[in-house]
Structure 1
């Protein structure tokens, strides 16, 4: 895939704001989802079902809204680096913005791996005081 085609797949994921249908279309069934320790649900998840049920399910359960906003994208073959922020509102009504960097690997036009780094302290303070 060209750099612009791989970036388009990543952008589509962000633009969907967590739409389950889009998530299922753009993610490989065997995706590896690596989330920074200290971030809610931090750890490594293997497979689309685990990402959706074990990571997104508990995370989204703590927020009224929560989604990633991609701001800058850099492609290099099957790799895309995305800089952006998470935007959310907790169940108690507190708004939060948390910066992230996502390192994506694509395979056969689908998201096959995510390595995330984010400011986990900001989100921890919003969720846990």
Structure 2
């Protein structure tokens, strides 16, 4: 069975390891980015610019490397892609972690328009704060 076009968009984003040029192409300018409470920077962000400035800006400053790794993908008939995977993180202090996540994406016209994220916040907190 061939991969759905919606899964291909999500997979491309993960495979880019957060490459800004790819993110600019696949993320809709008016995305709603919902990060689980307890995750650093947890909250709801509106728009690509806010996600970059208000979430990723302060968040990525704490890491030498941080990117999502998609492992399993499931699509429904309502423009949703469910992705299971983990974040690979290396802190500025050299601590490493693989933090499990599940993402629910909404994809419209080849772009990501909404993210609902749930992740293992305890593992990330212990990696960042000991």
- Structure 1 partner of 2:49: 49
- The TM-score normalised by the length of structure 2 is 0.95
Q: TM-score, normalised by structure 1?
A: 0.96
CA distances 1:24-45 after superposition (whole Å, capped 9, x unpaired):
1000000000001000110000
Residue by residue over 1:92-120, the C-alpha shift from the partner in whole angstroms, topping out at 9 and shown as x without a partner, is 00001100000000112100000000000
Supply the distance in 1 between the matched residues of 2:108 and 2:6 (Cα, whole angstroms).
Answer: 9
Aligned residue in 2 for 1:107: 108
Q: 1:3 Cα deviation (Å)?
A: 6.5
**What root-mean-square deviation, in Å, do the aligned CA atoms of Structure 1 and Structure 2 show?**
1.2
Question: Which position in structure 1 is the counterpart of 2:34?
Answer: 34
Kept in 2: contact 1:81–1:101 (CA 8 A): yes
In structure 1, what is the equivalent of residue 62 of structure 2?
62
Alpha-carbon distance in 2 for matches of 1:95, 1:123: 9
Q: Give structure 2 stretches of 5+ with no counterpart.
A: none
Where has structure 1 moved over 6 Å in runs of 4 or more?
Answer: none
Do the aligned residues in 2 keep the contact of 1:3 with 1:76 (CA within 8 Å)?
A: no
